[in-house]
Structure 1
Amino acid sequence: MSNPSLSRGELVRYVLIYAAVAVLVLFTCVPILWLVIMSISSAQELTAVPLHWIPKSPDFSRYARLLGLTSDGSENIFLPALRNSVITAGGATLVAMAAAIPAAYAMSRRNAPRAMLFVMLATFMVPPITYALPLYTGLGKIGLLNTSAGLIIIYSALLLPFAVWLTKTNIDILPVSLEEAAMLDGAGTLRIMWSVLLPIARPALVAAAMLSFLTAWDEFFYALLFTSDLRAKTLPVAIADFAAGRVTDYGMVSAIGVLAAIPPVILAIFFQKSLIAGLSSGSVKG
């Protein structure tokens, strides 16, 4: 039996939905595509008038230099900066989530005042320049300027309010009966969190961790202020260094931008299902 044909109203609705999706994809993908084209275009093509949208002879040598595949070591700043970004963003995310999970559980199950949550969230919204001087002075006194450990401490404090808020909203919708059943079996709070809460709330925790990681990965202001060389300099600062000279190699800046986007994209694709489930689960109660 054939499916009934769509009514005129349904057809218009589907056309509008797919048109909106097409526009969103266009606005999202075209800048990335242009970044890739710039990274393989020659300097003459990038400055030509009219602009060359498709390079005549694609040049991948910039990627080879950035990845250390050639004898020219002038652009080897990329690999140390990539390592520093992975260490800093990954370490800050682990520390923030390790503190956010018990804090969110306590606030959710112990009925913490909502004012406390808003105060925590307010610290996330304060302009970063407000904390610059005291943080610089404090890190200098304990010898953590220009170190990944110093950035991890700063980023952890920056990410914690957001991670607590997102995790708490997802814990709120979990049934308390499961925890009560575990208590009757003699499980303590830590056991309940590890064996009951974490497996059920895994999508929410993945979403909070992913967004925290991306925030730390893209952070520029504190990394610029508190790092001075390749011992701790992260990718956003390294990209700025490439664009800071008198003559900017836009192709090289584009190439390092493409390479810097690959790790977050891989993580987002790998954890796509958990990320979507975690972001949507906290929006409905019941």
Structure 2
Amino acid sequence: MGLRRRRIVRSIIIGVFSVLLAFLLLAPPAWLFISSIADLKDLLRIPLRWIPENPSFSRYAGILFGQGPESEFRKIMANSLYVATFVTVICVALGVLAAYAFSRLRFPGKDRVLFILLFSYMLPPIAVIIPLYQMFSNLKMLDTKEALILVYSAILVPFVIWMMRTYFDTIPRDLEDAAKIDGCTHLQTLFRVILPLSLPGIVATLLFAFLMSWEEFFIALILTSTPQAKTIPVAIAEFSGRHSIDFGMMATGGVLASLPPVFIALFFQKYIIGGLLSGAVKG
């Protein structure tokens, strides 16, 4: 009887903490959505009103279908999608090839190069932003999406190499030996054997690269100045002015900015979980 009671108490405690954790995780996005459809007077009211009196989707309509100043946000969303997509493709393409080389090939200084790559990824953006600004200014590439693609790719390729190298290390070498016996070269082995087995890890890495380039703020703030190249984080920050803050538009922009990563995560959920679990255990 005592054992059964302990199990019941444990189940109740786990349930309570699960509900509390779910509330803590879901409350911020729920409030973000409520703020996007509430009047400004509801957002500034004391005590706070959790359910708006007159909910309205006019901000979403203005951004998605309007022709006023809010319509610039559509162009900025397209900029973010363009930059994040190209950065992801470049980083995964280069990172997978380099990670396979670091995982399987032997060459002098391999470990040193890996640590140099890790060090370059750990550099804070503020330490390199002035040289980057001067370089792109001399190249007449300020306020362009291509400048952001180059910088983000240079920053994220080391991250992709480290993640994919760890994943490749979990794949048995016997599979490659069998492929080489059949006459495959290193590249043929990579594309015909390793990549199909590494699909979960590639998808997980792809999502991380996409999210990092999608949400980056500081570099985009310095290198862009017009809607032709600005990205979503910069646009959302500009809803806060010197004398006023448009909380509703900031929340609306935040909701719209969160939709693509959420959809990607839901669509590739199986591969993401498999990639994280497989890459975390070496054997």
What is the TM-score with the length of structure 2 in the denominator? 0.94
Superposition misfits of 4+ residues, deviation over 2 angstroms:
6-24, 111-119
Instruction: Compute the displacement of 1:22 (Å).
Output: 2.3
2:61 equivalent among 59, 64, 72: 64
Deviates more, 1:17-26 or 1:87-96: 17-26
1:26 equivalent among 14, 17, 23: 23
Matched, 1:155 2:117: no
Task: Name the SS for the 2:128 alignment partner.
Answer: helix
| 8 A contact 1:40–1:251 mirrored in 2 | yes
Instruction: Compute the displacement of 1:44 (Å).
Output: 1.2
2-structure distance, mates of 1:73, 1:258: 20
* Counterpart mapping for 1:23-172 below 5 A: 23-68=20-65, 70=66, 72-111=67-106, 113-172=110-169
Q: 1:285 to 1:146 in 2, by over 3 A?
A: same
Instruction: Compute the displacement of 1:142 (Å).
Output: 2.0
| 8 A contact 1:100–1:160 mirrored in 2 | yes
Q: Note the residue ranges of structure 1 that are not aligned, 5 or more in a row.
A: 1-5
Q: Note the residue ranges of structure 2 that are not aligned, 5 or more in a row.
A: none
1:187-245 deviation line (CA, Å, top 9, x unaligned): 11111111111100000010011011101111000000000101110000010111135
2-structure distance, mates of 1:23, 1:196: 44
Instruction: Compute the displacement of 1:12 (Å).
Output: 4.1
Q: Which amino acid aligns with 1:218?
A: E
> Equivalent residue for 1:243?
240
Task: Name the SS for the 1:100 alignment partner.
Answer: helix
1-structure distance, mates of 2:135, 2:197: 39
1:131-164 deviation line (CA, Å, top 9, x unaligned): 1111111112222211111100100011111111
Deviates more, 1:11-20 or 1:215-224: 11-20
Q: 1:108 to 1:9 in 2, by over 3 A?
A: farther
2-structure distance, mates of 1:198, 1:20: 40
* Counterpart mapping for 1:224-243 below 5 A: 224-243=221-240
Q: Which amino acid aligns with 1:28?
A: L
| 8 A contact 1:77–1:238 mirrored in 2 | no
Q: Which amino acid aligns with 2:93?
A: A
Matched, 1:260 2:245: no
> Equivalent residue for 2:276?
279
Instruction: Compute the displacement of 1:50 (Å).
Output: 1.4
Q: Which amino acid aligns with 2:124?
A: P
Instruction: Compute the displacement of 1:8 (Å).
Output: 4.1
1:62-112 deviation line (CA, Å, top 9, x unaligned): 1100112x4x51211210110000011111111111110011101111256
Instruction: Compute the displacement of 1:55 (Å).
Output: 0.6
Task: Name the SS for the 1:265 alignment partner.
Answer: helix
> Equivalent residue for 1:3?
none
| 8 A contact 1:45–1:55 mirrored in 2 | yes
> Equivalent residue for 1:189?
186
Aligned residues: 280
| 8 A contact 1:66–1:79 mirrored in 2 | yes
Let me know the Cα RMSD of the aligned residues.
1.7
| 8 A contact 1:81–1:234 mirrored in 2 | yes
